[in-house]
A and B are shown apart, each in its own frame.
Chain A
Amino acid sequence: AQTVTQSQPEMSVQEAETVTLSCTYDTSESNYYLFWYKQPPSRQMILVIRQEAYKQQNATENRFSVNFQKAAKSFSLKISDSQLGDTAMYFCAFGKRNTNAGKSTFGDGTTLTVKP
């Protein structure tokens, strides 16, 4: 079974600064995906970024980037130039790649507050 751990229940950052959210996971799988989802106060789940484990290059999406360390089973999210709209709960999630219908396993989430 897979587990996903987010050790920071809450974080805050000043607008325009950079913040990094931590995520570690445990799995015996070699082929998998990792995701970060954003959940604003509306509680909708929005995909922020994804990483395929076989790719060594870290994924980036505009102001969002990841630091994927496969050996350490670490998958942190960096948000650059933080904006007030980034205030949300962020969930790290794991999905198997070799199973088409694989479920996603989520961490407990990190509440991020961007301060003006």
Chain B
Amino acid sequence: EPEVTQTPSHQVTQMGQEVILRCVPISNHLYFYWYRQILGQKVEFLVSFYNNEISEKSEIFDDQFSVERPDGSNFTLKIRSTKLEDSAMYFCASTPGRSAQYFGPGTRLLVL
């Protein structure tokens, strides 16, 4: 069964550094998402992406964040100048549309 994949599974970075989280959505899916989950808290929506542009973004998704689909398979989340409070689990999700979103295994980001 097709799955959403994410790399790396864990990332440790120093405060102020840039990180890129990578996702490969399910191949026939058209809509892509990033969510984050701070430890012990609920899953929060960051951004949705369709047809090579952002469809919707939350208040969390400020200028520090950007998304890109650099080729036909990858979907990336870039976090510039990371802060301690960016430490979280980041989930990528995809859907063919009007259906459930299928989540990747997540990237655990730790900012020191």
Q: Which residues of A contact B (CB under 8 A)?
A: 33, 35, 37, 42-47, 50, 91, 93, 95, 97, 100-109
Contacts and interface: CB of A to CB of B under 8 A. Distances in A.
Interface in B79-112: 89, 91, 93, 97-103, 105-106, 108
Contact of B42 (A44, A101, A107): A107
A95 B35 CA distance: 14
B25 to A, nearest CB: 13
- For the residues of B in contact with A, the DSSP-based class is strand
Contact of B108 (A43, A104, A105, A107): A43
A47 B102 contact: yes
15 contacts: A33-B99, A33-B100, A43-B37, A43-B106, A46-B103, A50-B100, A95-B100, A101-B31, A101-B48, A101-B55, A101-B56, A104-B35, A106-B43, A106-B44, A109-B42
B98 A97 contact: yes
Contacts of B48: 101-103
Given A43-B89, A91-B43, A106-B42, A101 B97 contact: yes
Given A35-B100, A97-B98, A103-B45, 16 more contacts: A33-B99, A43-B89, A43-B108, A45-B103, A45-B106, A47-B100, A47-B102, A47-B103, A91-B43, A100-B30, A103-B58, A104-B93, A104-B101, A106-B43, A106-B44, A108-B42
Interface residues of B, number: 29
Given A33-B100, A44-B105, A50-B100, A100 B45 contact: no
Contacts of B56: 101, 103
Interface string B38-52: 000111110011100
A57 B49 CA distance: 32
Contact of A101 (B50, B102, B106): B50
B33 interface: yes
Contacts of A44: 103, 105-106
Q: Which 8 A-B residue pairs are closest in the complex by CB-CB distance? A: A45-B103, A101-B55, A103-B45, A100-B97, A106-B43, A101-B31, A44-B105, A101-B50
